[in-house]
Amino acid sequence: MRIATFAFAVLLISAARLPGQTSSARNPPDVGARGQAVQFNRDIRPLLSDKCYTCHGPDKARRLTKLRFDIEADAKQDLGGRFAIIPGDPANSEMIRRITAANPARLMPPVASGRTLTSREIELIQRWIEQGAKWQNHWSFIAPERAALPVIKNRTWPRNEIDFFVLDRLEREGYGPAVEAERTTLIRRVSLDLTGLPPTPAEVDAFVSDRSPKAYEKVVDRLLAFREKIGPFDRLLYCGHDWADAAAMRWASSAARTR
């Protein structure tokens, strides 16, 4: 019974995550806009992998040309006076000529492959070449670096650095931040996020009546300490039915929010 409940909850959670993942794959962030640099790993590699690697990738048997886009030196090699990629010069790069070719016999990906590039994807590749066609190692080999804070319009809204990044994306998409939720909602959300459990009525009351500026921070600290104590696997068993119910409600409310 317990296992069934647990499996059901896991299903719900993965169902809840799926729509977000597919929609972000379908609608890549509006990168490169407003002077932002295109990043190979984030913006270009997934595109090439999706649309070009079948024939220009690691699989030798399926490669009908020596041009491959999974290795920088090969992607930028001399193809006999032509180059697929000339950093800084998209107009003379074969890659751009072929993905924008008016002649269907020249167009890449080939029409028969059933793959196409959207105008946004073409623009992204163009901008990447324009900006120097910089390659990056696989992300797992790159040491993390602190990113510069984005320049945002509404400088009074952020409370910490992460808010700058959230607001930057909202502003680029033409949205503003939502008004802050009621305290009862805030504690419910953060409790579910950090422990998988809803808050007790006493915890809600304590937070609602705590007027100190650190009220929220205190709740987060308490929840993190609780989490530490319970540990991840035990937490799931410990929560049993409550957890499945909470997950179901959480799913319903986040599904409603994405509509």
User: By C-beta, is 94 or 245 nearer to ligand HEC?
Assistant: 94
- Quick note: the x/- pattern for ligand HEC over 96-135, rule CB under 6 A, is --xx--------xxx--x-x-x------------------
Tell me how far, at minimum, the Cβ of 50 lies from ligand HEC, in Å.
9
* Pick 54 or 254: Cβ nearer ligand HEC: 54
| Residue 117, H or E segment | none
Cβ at position 53, least distance to ligand HEC in Å: 8
CA–CA dist 100, 125 (Å, integer) = 11
Distances (CA, A) of 34 to 8, 69, 116, 150, 151: 44, 27, 26, 11, 10
CB of 66 to ligand HEC, least distance (A): 8
In the list 72, 94, 171, 210, the residue contacting ligand HEC (rule: CB under 6 A) is: 94
**Tokens 């901008």, located at residue:** 127
> Is the peptide bond preceding residue 150 cis, with omega within 30 degrees of 0?
no
Shortest Å, Cβ 122 to ligand HEC: 9
> DSSP secondary-structure letter at 155?
T
Tokens of 153: 């319009």
The residue with tokens 């049993």 is 240
Q: Enumerate residues 26-85 that contact ligand HEC by CB under 6 A.
A: 51-52, 54-56, 64-65, 67, 79, 82, 84
The residue among 238, 243, 252, 250 whose CA lies nearest residue 189 is 250
Q: Where on the chain is the footprint of ligand HEC (CB under 6 A)?
A: 51-52, 54-56, 64-65, 67, 79, 82, 84, 94-95, 98-99, 108-110, 113, 115, 117
